[in-house]
Structure 1
């Protein structure tokens, strides 16, 4: 659940820290008070698009942090562990936005991407917007709602994967058919190229190794002279080893009468050993370096051969072996058994059968879910004032297969007795469409697994007793999960366990949005304002008090 939201320098908010309770909470306030700013702020932490105009005037950066309790959300915990962003029951999503438009994202204090914010937030919170009914008329959105209600992600994933496999085989077959005319000439070219590479037979890392060897062979004389000279200076007659030995002997003569010389004598003995070992190493390296003109000539010729082949194919000499393998693989693909038209067609047929099996299983699950969803939405419609309303979901075979399967969903609705069902897109009344949308959202919410839900003025166009039903419905949802609702309806606000008031305040000629929790008397005043407007009467206050009392009794 969402525990807290901290906002700094966003729009009209200088600094704001909000803590949220479990159950049902409403946010109320006059139009323009800043309710949308809170959703914009939360949306930033959820990965929504960052708009530099949101940064408070006169400041350099906006900063928003959302604190979620994920102790009861194993999917979120697993995701964090997979991303190595472990949490101990709490999860912090943070987003900063500069006035230049640059944004940064963090999860549990560690840098993250906006895509990661979106992935994680999808496991934590679900937001239903006031304009959501506009998208409900779209076929794709209708099918997505059925899938969300069915809760069958594994079936969707299986269908998507088998579709992709079938599509890949289809593309391979299409390429084969399109390239058939040029296939033989391509095979001949590849065979010629392969013969050239087999003649040279480049080996992995061969060019680099030969280059190093050429460097040594071409400077062998100079290298040997330097090694011999170094050896003579260390271990030759009158060399460093001989002089150090003489120094050790001279000092050993006074060791018994001059104790302080012992540390220095030990140091000289160590130097004597190091000097001897270094001389041996120089002599060993000298024996390793040989003057071999024939080998040098071979290496030069081989490097020239490799370089010439690389130049012809316009690649680095180090890439010759990889290109050789690439030519072999392509030629094998074009001439092998798997490249024949019959083999490709068989693979396409096999992949199509796997896709159809997955899509059929998905369709079966969708049909069952559609029946349950239609029944639930019908019940909600009738409770929202459409007593004879009925909702139906038609699933038909789509014209073309897709990663989402072979289904096309159509929402049908009847709002009045005697009327035949018609597509939701043809419902004339905006108020009816709004209520149907709310019924669908509530029905979907009842099976959702997300711990937090936000309803953003989804009750627009509803009033009277219907508004009370909406409020009680959200109140019931709050018994199972955290529900936050932005509303203008007193009947809805009265049903909440907690009510937050959003208002503007002017301090030092600066306008700021403020949010504060309301106690019982303050809630009555706020509900009275929502019922009666700017002029409040005792009758309005009594009405508000009675409304609040009745709503809380049913909680």
Structure 2
């Protein structure tokens, strides 16, 4: 609910603070007094495009504030929570500043927001009916929402939306799999050919390096054998062999140690050196025998290396990269084999489509039933709203492509007179007719609508007398469920309100300004009398105004 509105330096308004209550409130005043300024200010607060030309002459900027009482469980409260903009006090303070340069800034509960966010929140806070930018009655999407609200289709709509999302997801996964399989078909043969080309090679990691080392040894076998033989000769053969010399030195020093024990450690060291030489000799003899056994290995090594070089050239990689290529190719082929079955995915798509069709048909059936009821109940109200023998219907037409909101397009159609054919609201209805039609719809949807504040502008266009009284009574009834604000020129409508605001303009310090006054009982009599009698208000007119207010007040209490 809108609790307070503050405006500064906007059109004719210098400074204005207005507190608003529950129920039905009317705004009245002379033509040109500035009643539309309040609605224009609200439109700006709720995200309307800002026009710097509307800033009051001489002021650098215009400022707007609106305070709303918001329940955490309401759609507006949930939106604020989702956007991390909620307030612990349960209120929503919207502030907007429009600079002379054309720049605009907006804030919700102190946090900077965009105009898009203002509009999104505004959809949950206020519904404006009239020839204003926030008018939504002409939008097919809003007409669909009104029909579903009237019919109580929220749960079924949710089922349809979920089924649509599941169907879309299944189609997307199937398309991705189909594309992946198409790519795989071209890759599979190439991968299989690569594996077949490498299948006869020993491709464990490090094997190429082992081949290189072994080939180097075998290629230098003669030098290695000769060198080893010469080393063995020097260590073990001949009179001056190292092992023999170490043994002789060890024995001689051991004899001397019998006379001087300090030589004993050196005897031990010589013994250790001799033993190590003998171990070297043993390993060299084993090495020489191995070289003799591997005389046929070199051709095998070179043949294997030649095979590696040949495969590497064909695959345009280095020989040492072949093991990694083999592993990657095998892994890629395994991944292709693991791709989901296209047939299984297509079955899932079909199941999702069937589920969507089931719930969409249920929603279509409910909409057809609700469309008939809504057409009948609104048509019954049109005569009371100066729409002659008007007729209202809700037309449903099948969409070329179903969507998350169902299979049909919803269109409100109106025949303002019995002689006229039904047509879309945008083509048939005038501004005043649209406002009154919106009033009739909102009256019927009052129990189900989640928007707390409704504003009506020009609902009295082209009507008077008993019709005007009926409009006022409908607005008052709507005020039992919503906060209702109405700009009116009709005393019959004004008399039905719980609260009365008078907008007037005057010259202050040489400048024209608009102001708003909250009328008490006496003020209401005077204003309704002015609306009844025009420029000259007589005692008779005041008495008439008093009787009108008393009669409507008693009616409201019943």
Fold agreement, TM-score > 0.5: yes
Q: What pairs up with 1:530-541 in 2 under 5 angstroms?
A: 530-541=531-542
Deviation at 1:38, TM superposition (A): 1.0
User: Structure 2 stretches of 5 or more lacking a match?
Assistant: 195-202, 206-328
Deviation at 1:382, TM superposition (A): 3.6
1:440 is matched with: 441
2:486 is matched with: 485
How many residue pairs are counted as aligned between the two chains?
Answer: 422
Q: Write out per-residue CA displacement over residues 38-80 of structure 1, whole angstroms, 9 at most, x where no aligned residue.
A: 1122223323333333332322222211112225864444444
Q: What pairs up with 1:143-182 in 2 under 5 angstroms?
A: 143-170=144-171
Tell me if the contact between 1:7 and 1:65 (Cα under 8 Å) persists in the aligned partners: yes
CA distance in structure 1 between the partners assigned to 2:335 and 2:365 by the alignment: 39
Matched, 1:39 2:39: yes
1:27 is matched with: 27
What SS does the aligned partner of 1:145 have?
A: helix
1:405 is matched with: 406
Tell me if the contact between 2:129 and 2:135 (Cα under 8 Å) persists in the aligned partners: no
Deviation at 1:499, TM superposition (A): 1.0
CA distance in structure 2 between the partners assigned to 1:144 and 1:160 by the alignment: 14
Q: Write out per-residue CA displacement over residues 370-417 of structure 1, whole angstroms, 9 at most, x where no aligned residue.
A: 344233313322433567655433434333212221023344556667
CA distance in structure 2 between the partners assigned to 1:348 and 1:63 by the alignment: 54
What SS does the aligned partner of 1:453 have?
A: strand
What SS does the aligned partner of 1:541 have?
A: helix
Deviation at 1:458, TM superposition (A): 2.6
Deviation at 1:172, TM superposition (A): 5.9
Q: What pairs up with 1:359-370 in 2 under 5 angstroms?
A: 359-370=360-371
Greater shift, 175-184 or 89-98, is seen at 175-184
Q: What pairs up with 1:49-60 in 2 under 5 angstroms?
A: 49-60=49-60
CA distance in structure 2 between the partners assigned to 1:101 and 1:455 by the alignment: 29
Tell me if the contact between 1:87 and 1:108 (Cα under 8 Å) persists in the aligned partners: no
CA distance in structure 2 between the partners assigned to 1:332 and 1:60 by the alignment: 70
Which structure has the larger Rg over C-alpha atoms?
2
Q: 1:332 to 1:471 in 2, by over 3 A?
A: farther
1:61 is matched with: 61
Matched, 1:2 2:2: yes
What SS does the aligned partner of 1:448 have?
A: coil
Deviation at 1:523, TM superposition (A): 2.2
CA distance in structure 2 between the partners assigned to 1:129 and 1:331 by the alignment: 66
CA distance in structure 2 between the partners assigned to 1:53 and 1:163 by the alignment: 46
Q: 1:136 to 1:25 in 2, by over 3 A?
A: closer
TM-score, with length taken from structure 1: 0.65
CA distance in structure 1 between the partners assigned to 2:157 and 2:51 by the alignment: 34
1:104 is matched with: 105
Matched, 1:12 2:12: yes
Q: Write out per-residue CA displacement over residues 288-319 of structure 1, whole angstroms, 9 at most, x where no aligned residue.
A: xxxxxxxxxxxxxxxxxxxxxxxxxxxxxxxx
What SS does the aligned partner of 1:460 have?
A: coil
Q: Write out per-residue CA displacement over residues 407-447 of structure 1, whole angstroms, 9 at most, x where no aligned residue.
A: 23344556667x79734559867476664443223323343
What SS does the aligned partner of 2:96 have?
A: strand
CA distance in structure 2 between the partners assigned to 1:434 and 1:79 by the alignment: 28
Q: Write out per-residue CA displacement over residues 60-106 of structure 1, whole angstroms, 9 at most, x where no aligned residue.
A: 22221111222586444444444253322322122222222222222
What SS does the aligned partner of 2:368 have?
A: helix
Tell me if the contact between 1:130 and 1:460 (Cα under 8 Å) persists in the aligned partners: no
Deviation at 1:33, TM superposition (A): 1.9
TM-score, with length taken from structure 2: 0.65
2:551 is matched with: 550
What SS does the aligned partner of 1:4 have?
A: strand
1:353 is matched with: 354
2:514 is matched with: 513
CA distance in structure 1 between the partners assigned to 2:474 and 2:49 by the alignment: 32
Q: 1:130 to 1:489 in 2, by over 3 A?
A: farther
Q: 1:69 to 1:541 in 2, by over 3 A?
A: same
User: Structure 1 stretches of 5 or more lacking a match?
Assistant: 194-198, 202-326
Matched, 1:454 2:488: no
Tell me if the contact between 1:62 and 1:96 (Cα under 8 Å) persists in the aligned partners: yes
What SS does the aligned partner of 1:100 have?
A: coil
Deviation at 1:25, TM superposition (A): 0.6
Tell me if the contact between 1:73 and 1:451 (Cα under 8 Å) persists in the aligned partners: no
Deviation at 1:485, TM superposition (A): 0.8
Deviation at 1:154, TM superposition (A): 4.3
Greater shift, 180-189 or 484-493, is seen at 180-189
Q: Write out per-residue CA displacement over residues 117-136 of structure 1, whole angstroms, 9 at most, x where no aligned residue.
A: 33333333322224699975
Tell me if the contact between 1:380 and 1:443 (Cα under 8 Å) persists in the aligned partners: no
Q: 1:46 to 1:24 in 2, by over 3 A?
A: same
CA distance in structure 1 between the partners assigned to 2:190 and 2:151 by the alignment: 55
Deviation at 1:472, TM superposition (A): 0.8
1:120 is matched with: 121
Tell me if the contact between 2:75 and 2:450 (Cα under 8 Å) persists in the aligned partners: no
Deviation at 1:473, TM superposition (A): 0.9
CA distance in structure 1 between the partners assigned to 2:136 and 2:117 by the alignment: 25
Tell me if the contact between 1:490 and 1:530 (Cα under 8 Å) persists in the aligned partners: yes
CA distance in structure 2 between the partners assigned to 1:144 and 1:108 by the alignment: 29
CA distance in structure 2 between the partners assigned to 1:534 and 1:163 by the alignment: 62
What SS does the aligned partner of 2:348 have?
A: helix
Q: 1:151 to 1:65 in 2, by over 3 A?
A: farther
CA distance in structure 2 between the partners assigned to 1:404 and 1:192 by the alignment: 51
CA distance in structure 1 between the partners assigned to 2:87 and 2:131 by the alignment: 35
CA distance in structure 1 between the partners assigned to 2:37 and 2:53 by the alignment: 12
Q: What pairs up with 1:154-553 in 2 under 5 angstroms?
A: 154-170=155-171, 184-185=185-186, 336-338=338-340, 341-385=342-386, 389-411=390-412, 422-425=422-425, 430=430, 435-553=436-554
What SS does the aligned partner of 2:476 have?
A: helix
CA distance in structure 1 between the partners assigned to 2:161 and 2:36 by the alignment: 36
Q: 1:447 to 1:49 in 2, by over 3 A?
A: same
